[in-house]
């Protein structure tokens, strides 16, 4: 079981020290989320009952790749991934260049968590078609793999069409794709094109069993073995080594955690809610009580 840190809603000036602490505590991958701007969104937020987002104009959404580059410079083993990057809200070559550069500068410590997104407003402002985002991502993923492999690439598809070209720098090893989302289309995309799947909510064990069964059925449909896909999911269990071992036996390879969400009242009073000190203190406790016992 590998532990991925969900660091969304973290103030930008905390990320450098948070990355250092993550590496010290045994976190495998630090993740951060992707939004371009805040507005009175036309699109309803799909993960709240009211459709309103859980953040406001003051919430930090630092650029994913700039932040990963800065964190990679102060760590040696920690891996990084967006959870998730809305690639089809950007043009193909911007995505190719950003991810490739981050992978090279981090010495191949980048995984590409990717999704289609829900916020139509961001697509409108970047000039990308919201309604074809899934089909464009399906075409984008194999093209990105080719571009990051180095050498000359030519592609003539439905949404991307270009003659022979190459980009540099390119990573020494393939960048793994982790497809995010719970929809049938997202699960199919993960099974067909992904190296892994990232869930976007907190799952009970029963819910997780259903998702795993669906992923395995799709993997079989696409001629892939059941263990050919990493599964990263946040779980509705109290942090406990025995629980994580049980879930690993089901086929989950990693779980998303943010220990400060379960901070005790005493910890909040001592360190201050939302503070960097609180995040590090709860991570250190999680490392001692859970990670060290795995």
Tokens of 10: 């973290």
What DSSP letter does each residue of 3-34 carry, written as one string? EEEE-TT--GGGHHHHHHHHHHHT-SEEEE--
Question: Does CATH number 3.20.20.30 belong to domain 27-175?
Answer: yes
Indicate the SS3 state at residue 114: strand
Question: The whole model's pTM is what?
Answer: 0.95
Tokens of 96: 């190719």
Indicate the SS3 state at residue 208: helix
CA distances from 85 to 44, 113, 137, 171, 278 (A): 19, 6, 11, 19, 27
Which pLDDT tens digits describe the chain residue by residue (294 residues)?
A: 999 999 999 999 999 999 999 999 999 999 999 999 999 998 999 888 899 999 999 999 999 999 999 999 999 999 999 999 999 999 999 999 999 999 999 999 999 999 999 999 999 999 999 999 999 999 999 999 999 999 999 999 999 999 999 999 999 999 999 999 999 999 999 999 999 999 988 999 899 999 999 999 999 999 999 899 999 999 998 888 898 999 999 999 999 999 999 999 999 999 999 999 999 999 999 999 999 998
C-alpha 164/C-alpha 180 separation (Å) is 31
Residue extents of the structural domains in the chain: 27-175
C-alpha 120/C-alpha 249 separation (Å) is 39
């Amino acid at each position: 079981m590998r532990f991925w840190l969900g660091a969304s809603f973290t103030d930008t000036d905390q990320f450098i020290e948070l990355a250092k602490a993550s590496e010290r505590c045994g976190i495998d991958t630090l993740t951060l989320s992707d939004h371009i701007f805040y507005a009175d969104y036309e699109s309803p937020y799909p993960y709240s009952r009211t459709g309103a987002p859980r953040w406001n104009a003051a919430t930090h959404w630092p650029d994913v790749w700039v932040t990963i580059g800065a964190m990679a410079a102060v760590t040696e083993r920690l891996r990084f991934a967006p959870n998730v990057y809305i690639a089809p809200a950007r043009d193909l070559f911007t995505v190719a260049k950003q991810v490739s550069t981050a992978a090279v500068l981090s010495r191949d410590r980048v995984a590409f968590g990717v999704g289609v997104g829900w916020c139509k407003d961001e697509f409108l402002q970047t000039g990308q078609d919201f309604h074809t985002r899934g089909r464009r991502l399906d075409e984008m993923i194999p093209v990105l793999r080719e571009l990051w492999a180095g050498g000359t690439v030519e592609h003539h598809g439905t949404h991307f069409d270009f003659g022979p070209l190459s980009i540099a720098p390119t990573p020494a090893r393939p960048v793994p794709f982790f497809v995010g989302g719970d929809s049938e289309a997202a699960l199919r995309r993960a099974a067909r094109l992904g190296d892994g799947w990232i869930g976007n909510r907190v799952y009970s064990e029963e819910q997780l069993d259903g998702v795993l069964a669906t992923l395995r059925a799709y993997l079989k449909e696409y001629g892939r073995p059941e263990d050919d896909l990493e599964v990263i999911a946040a779980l509705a269990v109290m942090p406990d080594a025995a629980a994580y071992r049980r879930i690993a036996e089901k086929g989950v390879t990693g779980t998303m955690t943010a220990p400060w969400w379960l901070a005790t009242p005493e910890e909040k009073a001592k360190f201050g809610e939302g503070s960097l000190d609180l995040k590090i203190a709860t991570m250190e406790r999680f490392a001692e009580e859970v990670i060290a016992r795995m």
